[in-house]
Copies of this chain bind each other. A is one copy, B any other.
Amino acid sequence: MTLDAGAPARTVGTVRVVGTGLLGTSAALALVLRGVDVVLVDPSPTAVALARDLGGGRFPADGDDPAVVLVAAPPDVVADVVAVELAAHPRAVVTDVASVKGGPLTALRAAGADLTRYVGSHPMAGRERSGAVAARTDLFAGRPWVLAPTATTTALALQVVRDLALDCGGNPVVMGAQEHDEAVALVSHVPQVAASLVAARLREASEPAVALAGQGVRDVTRIAASDPVLWAQILAGNAAPVADVLEDLRDDLDGVITALRALARDPQARGARGRLAELIAAGGTGRDRIPGKHGSAPATYATVVVVVPDRPGALARLLADVGAAGVNLEDLRLEHSEGQAVALASIDVVPAAAGPLAASLRGAGWTVPL
């Protein structure tokens, strides 16, 4: 989505952004685009000056009376900063964007903070790069933005933060802090750990071995390239829910190893193949739970595979021909292989469109294998 800069902001009054890293600066840019008055604060004078120079708002001034405070501080310090902001701005609604919600809430309760004006939040957005320099006006565009009100958050405070999320282009989703933390353990933190575990095994692989790597291991390990320090903080902040899921995963893994060892001793070991097939089948069932694009129910698309030469403009010509066939492309994957200057483009379309599309592309001179 491109943010519609012409639409009026829902947010009324000044927004104080505390922490001008990737998330804080991206929110500031989106809000300024809608005409919101944004005040920028950060412990680092360099970081806050950069955010201002990028167009994220202004420095604080005497008499500022923010309606909303958006705390975008590292997970380790977020509760402290929220508590300070709640106390310093007794009429403001305060939210934070940390990727875990239970720990900060517990700390705020212990500190006796005014939780009627607090809404934890978590926009499901990020990039491989960090800092204001990586900020994007539309970082949150179309992304789920979780709102986790406390038991005492007022309806008005929730509405204020919902409006802020919408003004940033996000898609607000309300859930409890505990529910949120268990959800991100499953769909974000455990996949990160698994990707890193698999990738770590490749460290001592031989050159010929890694040369056999195909699209499967590339996909499984793509996110293993993430920032170690940031991820140590994220995992530490959600330690118990992540450990719960990982222990269940380890039980399954132990079952796989036991079955494999039995098969290594006796290829006909009773029940061992069945246990392996069960695990793969269970994975297929779980995979089917992930919604299709744009949050719709999982859909089954048909795939048309086309051979694409590795030349400038070749993929563009292919997709122009797809467009000319009047077919909407649901997804596109490129597969590369070792030693050949070509790629295979896998084009997902609704099943009824696959046959006509393949025929149309063949007519346009493309190699569309059987």
- Which positions in A face B, CB cutoff 8 Å? 1-2, 29, 54, 103, 124, 135-139, 141-144, 146, 171, 173, 175, 179, 182-184, 186-188, 190-203, 205-206, 208-214, 216-229, 231-233, 235-236, 239-240, 242-243, 245-250, 252-254, 256-257, 260-261, 263-264, 267, 272-274, 276-291, 293-295, 305, 307, 310-324, 326-329, 331-332, 334, 336-343, 367, 369-370
CB-CB < 8 A to A285: which residues of B?
199-200, 203
User: Is A334 within 8 A of B337, CB to CB?
Assistant: no
Task: Return 21 A-B CB contacts under 8 Å, by A number.
Answer: A1-B307, A54-B370, A136-B370, A171-B340, A186-B201, A186-B209, A199-B284, A200-B283, A200-B285, A205-B289, A217-B290, A236-B276, A239-B267, A240-B260, A246-B257, A311-B328, A312-B327, A314-B323, A316-B316, A316-B319, A331-B334
Contact among B193, B247, B289 with A202 in the assembled complex (CB-CB below 8 Å) = B289
Contact among B124, B203, B206, B288 with A183 in the assembled complex (CB-CB below 8 Å) = B206
Contact among B192, B307, B317 with A216 in the assembled complex (CB-CB below 8 Å) = B192
CB-CB < 8 A to A193: which residues of B?
253, 256, 279
Residue of B whose beta carbon sits closest to that of A202? B286
User: Is B317 within 8 A of A323, CB to CB?
Assistant: yes
Instruction: Please report the C-alpha to C-alpha distance between residue A317 and residue B324 in the assembled complex, in whole angstroms.
Output: 11
Instruction: Please report the C-alpha to C-alpha distance between residue A314 and residue B330 in the assembled complex, in whole angstroms.
Output: 12
Task: With A197-B194, A210-B291, A223-B219 as known contacts, state yes or no: A261 contacts B243, CB within 8 Å.
Answer: yes
Residue of B whose beta carbon sits closest to that of A227? B280
Contact among B196, B208, B277, B338 with A229 in the assembled complex (CB-CB below 8 Å) = B277
Instruction: Please report the C-alpha to C-alpha distance between residue A320 and residue B192 in the assembled complex, in whole angstroms.
Output: 35
User: Is B195 within 8 A of A220, CB to CB?
Assistant: yes
User: Is B216 within 8 A of A249, CB to CB?
Assistant: no
Specify which of A187, A219, A252, A274 lies most central, judged by the most chain B CB atoms within 10 Å of its CB.
A187
CB-CB < 8 A to A196: which residues of B?
279-280, 282-284
Residue of B whose beta carbon sits closest to that of A138? B369
User: Is A294 within 8 A of B232, CB to CB?
Assistant: no
CB-CB < 8 A to A249: which residues of B?
197-198, 200-201, 253
Specify which of A233, A290, A321, A323 lies most central, judged by the most chain B CB atoms within 10 Å of its CB.
A290
Instruction: Please report the C-alpha to C-alpha distance between residue A327 and residue B313 in the assembled complex, in whole angstroms.
Output: 8
User: Is A284 within 8 A of B212, CB to CB?
Assistant: no
CB-CB < 8 A to A367: which residues of B?
2, 138
With A173-B211, A294-B340, A316-B316 known, 6 other A-B pairs at CB within 8 A are A142-B339, A191-B216, A203-B286, A220-B220, A243-B260, A316-B320
